[in-house]
Amino acid sequence: MKVLVIDADRVLLDLCMRAQAAGHEIRWWMPPLPTGEPSPIGDGYFKKVKEWESSARWADLIVMGDNAKYAARFAPFFRRGFPIFGCNAEAAALELDRGLGQRICSDYSIDTLPYVIMTSYDDAIKHVEKTMGTFVSKPWGGDADKALSYVSGSPEDMIWKLNHWKKTMGRLKGQMMLQERVKGIEMAVGGWFSRSGWAPFVCENFEEKKFMNEGLGQNTGEQGTTLRYTEKSKLFEQLLEPVTGYLHKINYVGYVDQNAIIQPNGKAWPLEFTMRFGYPLNYIQEALHLGDPVEWMYNAAAEGKNTLKVSKDVAVGVVLSHGKYPNQELMDQSSCGTPLYGITPAMEDNVHLVEAQWGTAPMQVGTKVKEVPMPLTAGCYIACVTGAGEKVSDAREKAYKRIWKIKPPSNRMFRTDIGSRLEEELPLLRDNGFAEGMEF
């Protein structure tokens, strides 16, 4: 099969490698660097194309990795019925425009947390002072400032944050949401959607966004995740199944995820949609996918069939990084070319390379040091390393046994507690009918 991969975020090396190994012909496009030079990611593994338009008619399947950057340019291809697995503009708006996401939840009888919309920092400060509530702030609307995300721990630190933004950023651009913060367990649920509806396997997942153990440090997006596939999920029934009609209405084909806070009384509150592959979520899901890595995507996009087969094991994935991560500039050359010592053929299936390339590096061979072909870094986000097992603890043990063996001669970094919180949280979730059958 001929597969065109549109990779705006430069994160689909692993998918391309697995699809090529399965015998498919791959054309992989990434945007150039800000300097105009091509990205080194994937060098030595693939010949990447400089533009994607001429390959659209060539492809049997087009895979979209992003939800926004090229939505307008792709709109004609969606309208003409090209076999595209990924996000169209209407679906992207569910994630990018929080107002739309909240409204769709309400329209389809999904309860949402109370919130107010603010158009100035001063009004937001007055609201917090008046209510003395604890809030989460988020950008509101498709054009809102994405920096306006903050989870407060008290009224005082929310007010400090609002004053800080006012001093450093000036007038509020667009609008912001102040949403009541509730205490509970964060859990997400996702599913693969085709023209015939949901695939039978639902992905329950527990991500860790912060850089350091115990949820300390800055937000990195996703530093590691624990997940499993199941055929019955209470969270899916409450937060995703109700929007089935809307997804059909917008002709969506791809992955849909909704994360939530589950309170001690069992009430699940939705937080936001994700309408695309997750990273590193997708690498960890791949550890449980059975069979051809892209044929099921073609069946979903071109024929409306759900043919994905999965393992029922639990999978744990841990992000491996180095250099200036997570504050690196795009393609910082000081983080490129570091050898990735320790990756053996037996480990390769569970090492999902992200910012990597193929080259040579010094290695001892017998009594001499020689230049030997091996994977090298092509950025700061090196890989996601996975493990799978019947229980969370089994999967954790395998993932960490592998990641400790990878030894780049640099400041390798990864969290050592991915999945640990589930030892305490899973029994609490099961008491309320969530994550049934999942064991630590």
Instruction: Return the domain boundaries, the chain.
Output: 2-90, 114-180, 185-431
Given this model, what pLDDT does residue 415 score?
98
Q: Look at residue 72 and tell me whether its pLDDT is greater than 80.
A: no
The owner of tokens 């950025």 is: 379
By DSSP bridging, strand 150-151 and strand 175-180 are: unpaired
Q: What is the pLDDT of residue 421?
A: 97
Question: Can 114-180 and 185-431 be said to share one CATH topology?
Answer: no
Percent of the chain topping pLDDT 70 = 98
Q: What architecture does CATH give domain 114-180?
A: 2-Layer Sandwich (3.30)
Considering only residues 69 and 385, tell me which one the structure prediction assigns the higher pLDDT: 385
Report the pLDDT averaged over residues 189-214: 96
Dihedral pair phi/psi, residue 270, rounded to 5°: -70, 145
pLDDT of residue 98: 81
Helices 392-403 and 422-431: angle between axes, nearest 10 degrees: 150
Fold of the CATH domain 2-90? Rossmann fold (3.40.50)
Average pLDDT, the chain: 92
10 Å Cβ neighbour count for 328?
Answer: 17
185-431 CATH: 3.30.470.20
Q: Give pLDDT, residue 135.
A: 93
Instruction: Note the pTM of the prediction, 2 decimals.
Output: 0.93
Mean pLDDT of 36-53: 90
pLDDT at 254: 95
Of the candidates 217, 282, 279, 205, which has an alpha carbon nearest to the alpha carbon of residue 413? 217
Where is average pLDDT lowest: 72-81, 88-97, 105-114, 314-323? 72-81
% of residues, the chain, pLDDT over 90: 76
How large is the average pLDDT for residues 349-357? 97
Q: What is the pLDDT of residues 292-303, one digit of tens each?
A: 999 999 999 999
How do residues 359-410 score in pLDDT, each as one tens digit?
Answer: 999 999 999 999 999 999 999 999 999 999 999 999 999 999 999 999 999 9
- pLDDT tens, residue by residue, 220-271: 889 999 999 999 999 999 999 999 999 999 999 999 999 999 999 999 999 9
**Residue 329's pLDDT band (cuts 50, 70, 90):** confident
pLDDT for position 68: 62
